[in-house]
Amino acid sequence: MKPIWPAAVGLAAMALAAFAAAETASGDWLYPAGVRGAAAKADAKALRRLPGSKAGFTDAQLGDLGHAVDWRPAEHPPMPPAVAEGQGPAGACGYCHLPDGAGRPENASLAGLPADYIRRQVADFASGARAKGSAFRPIQLMTDTAQGVDPKAAAQAADYYSRLKFTAHVRVVEADRIPPFVAEHFVYGFGKGTRVPLGQRILEGPDSMQRFELRDSHVGFVAYVPKGAIARGAALAAPCSACHGVGLKGGLGPPLAGRSPTYIARQLFAFRTGTRSNPEAAPMRATAGGLNDTQIIDLAAYAGSLRP
């Protein structure tokens, strides 16, 4: 099967210049680019298939933010309207966060998060108290959706996702050198060839870019982190359990165990810079304000390595 949006460059000859430094203090590596190269012409009739599913979707349907791509409807309860379909400027929650709430590295895993917490985040996106001014396309889409969705529909979506069981799909791998990579579809695609330095960052991507493009909620991810990051993060994380619970499985704060290290790191950077400016985030802004880049990476690596 050909990719829906084929990369314009070979993985072995990708543009590494933007990532050449051993450290990227700005955290730009947390915001990988979108589609690379010219998009393929959508096939209006041919149905894309996923092994193990009876469903089929056209290229247009797979790219329609207003409708959730649901390959396995028997694996979750019926979706409420806001999850299944968009409302005006609001996209379908299930398109980005997926019908089972698994989410992807460019957005949050919603399954198992407290309903009240989800509702507050939607309100904060709508008001601009969260991620204000971000140029990262997934965050812009979330802001548009939060501002366009009916509050009652948003509450129904929050209740729905809170009742779903979260399953971790990421494995955290410590490494000095990693396979050659390219930024595409807001994640990293890894290829074969001479390994390249990871540096002081986290690079996360799917095991299968084709399944990722098909919005398969079962696809696995690998997150490459620096050597020793997990142990260092464990040493730093002891105070975190006061709010995020034993094993970071949730408490006063949301559960973090087994969730995307990229997403967690992105939030810690946002707390540190103040782009998450809602009043409830004040304790996290104070905590993240004392963390350097390496400590943020280590904490995110440790949290992602835990089992939920």
pLDDT (tens digit per residue) in 45-78: 899 999 999 999 999 999 999 999 999 999 999 9
Of all residues in the chain, the percent with pLDDT exceeding 70 is: 88
Mean per-residue pLDDT for 261-276? 95
According to the model, what pLDDT value does residue 87 have?
A: 85
User: pLDDT, tens digit, for every residue of 159-186?
Assistant: 999 999 999 999 999 999 999 999 999 9
Claim to verify: residue 194 and residue 97 sit in the same structural domain: no
User: What does DSSP say about strands 221-225 and 170-174: parallel, antiparallel, or unpaired?
Assistant: parallel
Rounded distance between C-alpha atoms, residue 72 and residue 90, angstroms: 23
Copy the structure tokens of residue 303: 């949290």
Look at the pTM and tell me if it is higher than 0.85.
Answer: yes
Rounded distance between C-alpha atoms, residue 18 and residue 32, angstroms: 11
Claim to verify: residue 300 and residue 177 sit in the same structural domain: yes
According to the model, what pLDDT value does residue 118 have?
A: 98
Mean per-residue pLDDT for 103-107? 98
Claim to verify: residue 197 and residue 286 sit in the same structural domain: yes
Is it the case that residue 210 has pLDDT exceeding 90?
yes
Following CA atoms 115, 118, 120, 122 in sequence, which dihedral angle do they give, to the nearest 10 degrees? -140
Rounded distance between C-alpha atoms, residue 236 and residue 62, angstroms: 41
Claim to verify: residue 178 and residue 293 sit in the same structural domain: yes
Claim to verify: residue 158 and residue 176 sit in the same structural domain: no
Claim to verify: residue 146 and residue 199 sit in the same structural domain: no
For residue 3, is it within any domain? no
Copy the structure tokens of residue 260: 């995307």
User: Positive or negative, the Cα torsion across 76, 80, 81, 86?
Assistant: negative
Q: What are phi and psi of 189, to 5 degrees?
A: -100, 130
Copy the structure tokens of residue 201: 């960052």
User: pLDDT, tens digit, for every residue of 73-101?
Assistant: 999 999 999 999 998 889 999 999 999 99
Q: Into how many domains does the chain fold?
A: 2
According to the model, what pLDDT value does residue 24 have?
A: 37
**Taking the CA atoms of the chain, what radius of gyration do you get in angstroms?**
19
In which residue are the tokens 């041919």 written? 46
According to the model, what pLDDT value does residue 39 have?
A: 52
Confidence label for 6 from pLDDT (cuts 50, 70 and 90)? very low
Lowest mean pLDDT among 33-37, 223-227, 236-240: 33-37
In terms of residue numbers, what domain contains 135? Answer: 42-162
For residue 15, is it within any domain? no
Quick count: other Cβ atoms within 10 Å of Cβ 244? 20
For residue 102, is it within any domain? yes
Mean per-residue pLDDT for 107-122? 98
Is it the case that residue 242 has pLDDT exceeding 70?
yes
Claim to verify: residue 180 and residue 276 sit in the same structural domain: yes
Is it the case that residue 18 has pLDDT exceeding 70?
no
For residue 46, is it within any domain? yes
- The rounded mean pLDDT for the chain is 90
Domain boundary among 118, 139, 162: 162
According to the model, what pLDDT value does residue 134 have?
A: 77
In angstroms, the Cα distances linking 94 to 53, 76, 84 are 17, 12, 6
CATH code, domain carrying 196 = 1.10.760.10
Of all residues in the chain, the percent with pLDDT exceeding 90 is: 83
CA-closest candidate to residue 181, choices 194, 195, 191: 191
Domain boundary among 162, 178, 204: 162
Is it the case that residue 147 has pLDDT exceeding 70?
yes
Claim to verify: residue 210 and residue 233 sit in the same structural domain: yes
According to the model, what pLDDT value does residue 131 have?
A: 79
Claim to verify: residue 219 and residue 142 sit in the same structural domain: no
Claim to verify: residue 186 and residue 127 sit in the same structural domain: no
For residue 153, is it within any domain? yes
Domain boundary among 162, 195, 212: 162
Claim to verify: residue 179 and residue 132 sit in the same structural domain: no
Amino acid at 164: L
Confidence label for 41 from pLDDT (cuts 50, 70 and 90)? low
According to the model, what pLDDT value does residue 25 have?
A: 40
Output 1 or 302, whichever has higher pLDDT: 302
According to the model, what pLDDT value does residue 14 have?
A: 38
Output 296 or 7, whichever has higher pLDDT: 296
Mean per-residue pLDDT for 212-218? 97
